[in-house]
Amino acid sequence: MVSGSSNMAESDPVDWEGRPVSCRDCPHELIRAEERCDLGRICVRDRRARRIDRFFAANPQEADKYLDHPYFEARVLAAKYASIFLLPRLLHDPEPDVRAMVAHRLPVNRVQQLRNDPDRKVRMVVTQRVEGEASSRCSRTLTTGSGLSRRGA
């Protein structure tokens, strides 16, 4: 049986550099006062992606401010919630997960340049988006009827 203290040590909130996280020095005082963050559960300063994601889900207006954060998980999740108009600057982010999220969110015509990305995950997202767009166009044509079928009618 695992003791409660070792379990607690595993879940103690630490930042992306392994330092303990505290609400005392957090810049989100108002958010904390409104209970839209919770240390160890909903926290942008935590290293755990799930906790960061919960923070942005509860506070999407904060995402734009974290697009340049040094921790790649914070940038990935900020890109998930940030204004789409701020995402093009991340097309050349050094982290493939960030580029993949941007490829997932931007319009297809804006991510074509990532088709030749060095990372396989990024290329896969772009390919899925492009094929999905082509499939969607084909489906719309079949539903509304093509120009050829109308001429023959």
Q: How far is CA 73 from CA 29, 33, 35, in A?
A: 22, 25, 23
Q: Report residue 58 as tokens.
A: 């509860």
For residue 4, the model assigns a pLDDT of 41
Report the sign of the C-alpha dihedral through residues 28, 29, 33, 39, in that order. positive
Q: Which residue carries 């935590």 as its tokens? A: 46
Q: pLDDT (tens digit, 9 = 90+) per residue, 111-143?
A: 999 999 999 999 999 999 998 866 556 555 555
DSSP state of 47: S
Q: What is the pTM of this model?
A: 0.79
